[in-house]
Amino acid sequence: MRTRILSGLFLILSLMSGAAFAQLGQAQRITGDIFGFTARTRNGANIYSVRRPSPAMLSAIDQGLTNLFAVARKNGYSRRLNYSDYTIFIANADRNRDSAGRYSPDIAVGAAQYAGTDYDQGGYVYAAGMVISFNPMTFVIAEHTRDFNRVSDVVRYEGEHLVLYHNDRRRYSQTADHSQGGGHPILQ
Ligand SMILES: [Zn+2]
Protein backbone atom coordinates (compact mmCIF):
# COMPACT_ATOMS: atom_id res chain seq x y z
CA MET A 1 0.00 0.00 0.00
CA ARG A 2 2.71 2.41 1.03
CA THR A 3 4.71 1.52 -2.07
CA ARG A 4 1.75 2.26 -4.27
CA ILE A 5 1.22 5.70 -2.72
CA LEU A 6 4.89 6.53 -3.06
CA SER A 7 5.05 5.46 -6.68
CA GLY A 8 1.91 7.51 -7.40
CA LEU A 9 3.53 10.54 -5.81
CA PHE A 10 6.73 9.92 -7.71
CA LEU A 11 4.78 9.78 -10.96
CA ILE A 12 3.20 13.18 -10.30
CA LEU A 13 6.51 14.76 -9.33
CA SER A 14 8.34 13.32 -12.30
CA LEU A 15 5.71 14.79 -14.64
CA MET A 16 6.57 18.27 -13.39
CA SER A 17 9.60 19.85 -14.91
CA GLY A 18 11.89 20.52 -11.98
CA ALA A 19 12.29 24.15 -12.89
CA ALA A 20 8.59 24.98 -12.79
CA PHE A 21 7.98 23.18 -9.51
CA ALA A 22 8.56 26.24 -7.28
CA GLN A 23 6.30 28.34 -9.51
CA LEU A 24 3.45 25.87 -9.00
CA GLY A 25 3.18 26.94 -5.33
CA GLN A 26 3.39 30.58 -6.32
CA ALA A 27 0.63 30.21 -8.92
CA GLN A 28 -1.55 28.43 -6.36
CA ARG A 29 -1.04 31.20 -3.80
CA ILE A 30 -1.85 33.95 -6.32
CA THR A 31 -4.97 32.32 -7.74
CA GLY A 32 -6.20 30.29 -4.78
CA ASP A 33 -6.55 27.37 -7.20
CA ILE A 34 -5.12 23.85 -7.13
CA PHE A 35 -3.49 22.85 -10.40
CA GLY A 36 -4.07 19.11 -10.36
CA PHE A 37 -3.61 18.45 -14.08
CA THR A 38 -0.53 18.57 -16.23
CA ALA A 39 -0.50 18.48 -20.00
CA ARG A 40 1.58 19.40 -23.00
CA THR A 41 0.35 21.20 -26.06
CA ARG A 42 0.92 19.59 -29.45
CA ASN A 43 3.91 21.92 -29.94
CA GLY A 44 5.37 21.19 -26.52
CA ALA A 45 4.35 24.00 -24.15
CA ASN A 46 3.87 22.87 -20.53
CA ILE A 47 0.43 23.22 -18.98
CA TYR A 48 -0.83 23.06 -15.40
CA SER A 49 -4.58 23.36 -14.99
CA VAL A 50 -7.43 23.14 -12.53
CA ARG A 51 -9.42 20.85 -14.83
CA ARG A 52 -8.40 18.69 -17.75
CA PRO A 53 -7.67 21.30 -20.42
CA SER A 54 -9.86 21.19 -23.53
CA PRO A 55 -8.24 20.57 -26.94
CA ALA A 56 -9.47 24.05 -27.93
CA MET A 57 -7.61 25.66 -25.01
CA LEU A 58 -4.42 23.77 -25.85
CA SER A 59 -4.42 24.66 -29.53
CA ALA A 60 -5.29 28.30 -28.73
CA ILE A 61 -2.23 28.43 -26.48
CA ASP A 62 -0.05 27.02 -29.27
CA GLN A 63 -1.50 29.58 -31.68
CA GLY A 64 -0.73 32.42 -29.24
CA LEU A 65 2.87 31.27 -28.91
CA THR A 66 3.18 30.90 -32.70
CA ASN A 67 1.99 34.50 -33.10
CA LEU A 68 4.35 35.64 -30.35
CA PHE A 69 7.39 33.95 -31.91
CA ALA A 70 6.59 35.41 -35.33
CA VAL A 71 6.38 38.99 -34.08
CA ALA A 72 9.43 38.47 -31.85
CA ARG A 73 11.54 37.33 -34.82
CA LYS A 74 10.24 40.26 -36.82
CA ASN A 75 11.68 42.50 -34.09
CA GLY A 76 15.02 40.70 -34.27
CA TYR A 77 14.66 38.67 -31.06
CA SER A 78 15.82 35.06 -31.04
CA ARG A 79 16.14 33.95 -27.42
CA ARG A 80 13.54 31.74 -25.69
CA LEU A 81 11.40 31.16 -28.74
CA ASN A 82 10.70 27.47 -28.12
CA TYR A 83 7.27 26.20 -27.10
CA SER A 84 8.82 24.00 -24.41
CA ASP A 85 10.39 27.09 -22.80
CA TYR A 86 6.90 28.16 -21.67
CA THR A 87 4.77 26.94 -18.78
CA ILE A 88 1.17 28.15 -18.63
CA PHE A 89 -1.18 27.80 -15.68
CA ILE A 90 -4.88 27.65 -16.55
CA ALA A 91 -6.77 28.99 -13.52
CA ASN A 92 -10.42 29.31 -12.62
CA ALA A 93 -11.87 32.59 -13.88
CA ASP A 94 -12.74 35.03 -11.08
CA ARG A 95 -15.20 36.70 -13.40
CA ASN A 96 -16.60 35.68 -16.79
CA ARG A 97 -17.83 39.06 -17.98
CA ASP A 98 -16.21 42.46 -18.00
CA SER A 99 -17.90 45.65 -16.82
CA ALA A 100 -19.47 46.05 -20.28
CA GLY A 101 -21.00 42.58 -20.10
CA ARG A 102 -18.72 40.98 -22.69
CA TYR A 103 -17.45 37.41 -22.24
CA SER A 104 -14.09 38.00 -20.58
CA PRO A 105 -12.77 35.27 -18.24
CA ASP A 106 -10.23 37.03 -16.00
CA ILE A 107 -8.36 36.42 -12.79
CA ALA A 108 -8.35 38.73 -9.76
CA VAL A 109 -4.86 39.61 -8.56
CA GLY A 110 -3.52 41.90 -5.83
CA ALA A 111 -3.57 45.53 -6.94
CA ALA A 112 0.10 46.29 -6.13
CA GLN A 113 1.26 49.03 -8.52
CA TYR A 114 -2.28 49.45 -9.84
CA ALA A 115 -3.64 50.60 -6.45
CA GLY A 116 -5.58 53.83 -6.86
CA THR A 117 -5.65 53.66 -10.67
CA ASP A 118 -8.73 53.04 -12.80
CA TYR A 119 -7.86 49.32 -12.75
CA ASP A 120 -8.21 49.13 -8.94
CA GLN A 121 -11.33 47.21 -7.78
CA GLY A 122 -10.54 47.75 -4.09
CA GLY A 123 -7.25 45.99 -3.41
CA TYR A 124 -7.30 43.80 -6.49
CA VAL A 125 -7.50 44.14 -10.26
CA TYR A 126 -8.93 41.87 -12.91
CA ALA A 127 -6.31 40.68 -15.33
CA ALA A 128 -6.56 38.54 -18.44
CA GLY A 129 -3.20 37.04 -17.56
CA MET A 130 -0.24 37.51 -15.29
CA VAL A 131 3.45 36.61 -15.44
CA ILE A 132 4.46 34.38 -12.53
CA SER A 133 8.19 34.03 -13.21
CA PHE A 134 10.81 34.85 -15.80
CA ASN A 135 13.18 31.93 -15.13
CA PRO A 136 11.59 29.56 -15.90
CA MET A 137 9.04 31.44 -17.98
CA THR A 138 5.60 30.93 -16.48
CA PHE A 139 2.33 32.80 -16.57
CA VAL A 140 -1.30 32.27 -15.63
CA ILE A 141 -4.45 32.76 -17.71
CA ALA A 142 -8.13 31.98 -17.02
CA GLU A 143 -9.94 28.97 -18.43
CA HIS A 144 -12.15 29.77 -21.42
CA THR A 145 -15.00 27.71 -22.84
CA ARG A 146 -15.37 29.87 -25.95
CA ASP A 147 -13.77 32.88 -27.68
CA PHE A 148 -10.50 30.99 -27.98
CA ASN A 149 -9.01 33.77 -30.08
CA ARG A 150 -8.93 35.72 -26.84
CA VAL A 151 -6.84 32.93 -25.28
CA SER A 152 -4.34 33.18 -28.14
CA ASP A 153 -4.18 36.96 -27.66
CA VAL A 154 -3.63 36.72 -23.90
CA VAL A 155 -0.89 34.13 -24.38
CA ARG A 156 0.80 36.34 -26.92
CA TYR A 157 0.48 39.39 -24.64
CA GLU A 158 1.85 37.77 -21.48
CA GLY A 159 4.54 36.20 -23.63
CA GLU A 160 5.58 39.65 -24.84
CA HIS A 161 6.79 40.51 -21.33
CA LEU A 162 8.82 37.29 -21.18
CA VAL A 163 10.35 37.67 -24.63
CA LEU A 164 11.31 41.27 -23.91
CA TYR A 165 12.79 40.33 -20.55
CA HIS A 166 15.12 37.84 -22.21
CA ASN A 167 15.87 39.79 -25.40
CA ASP A 168 15.61 43.52 -24.72
CA ARG A 169 15.79 44.42 -21.05
CA ARG A 170 15.44 48.15 -21.61
CA ARG A 171 12.26 47.79 -23.61
CA TYR A 172 11.03 45.27 -21.07
CA SER A 173 11.41 47.83 -18.27
CA GLN A 174 9.62 50.51 -20.26
CA THR A 175 6.58 48.31 -20.89
CA ALA A 176 6.35 46.06 -17.82
CA ASP A 177 4.09 48.33 -15.78
CA HIS A 178 0.80 49.15 -17.52
CA SER A 179 -0.25 51.53 -14.72
CA GLN A 180 1.99 54.11 -16.39
CA GLY A 181 0.01 53.74 -19.61
CA GLY A 182 0.52 51.51 -22.60
CA GLY A 183 -0.84 48.05 -23.12
CA HIS A 184 -0.76 45.20 -25.60
CA PRO A 185 0.27 44.41 -28.20
CA ILE A 186 3.70 45.86 -27.42
CA LEU A 187 5.44 44.22 -30.38
CA GLN A 188 4.21 45.17 -33.83
ZN1 LIG B 1 1.01 43.12 -19.86
User: What are the pLDDT digits (tens) for 61-73?
Assistant: 999 999 999 999 9
Measure 8 CA to ligand 1 centroid, in angstroms. Answer: 38
Residue 165: inside a domain? yes
Domain count, the chain: 1
pTM of the model: 0.86
Residue 23: inside a domain? yes
Residue 30: inside a domain? yes
Residue 65: inside a domain? yes
Q: Which residues pair with residue 186 across a beta bridge?
A: none
Q: Model confidence at 1, in pLDDT bands (50, 70, 90)?
A: very low
Q: Tell me if residue 186 falls in helix, strand or coil.
A: coil
Measure 14 CA to ligand 1 centroid, in angstroms. Answer: 32
Measure 131 CA to ligand 1 centroid, in angstroms. Answer: 8
Percent of the chain with pLDDT over 70: 86
Res. 3: pLDDT tops 50: no
| DSSP run (H or E) holding 4 | helix 2-15
CATH for 108? 3.40.30
Res. 110: pLDDT tops 70: yes
Domain assignment of residue 74, given as a range: 12-178
The 10 Å Cβ neighbour count of residue 176 is: 15
Cα atoms in the 13 Å half-sphere on the side-chain side of 64: 26
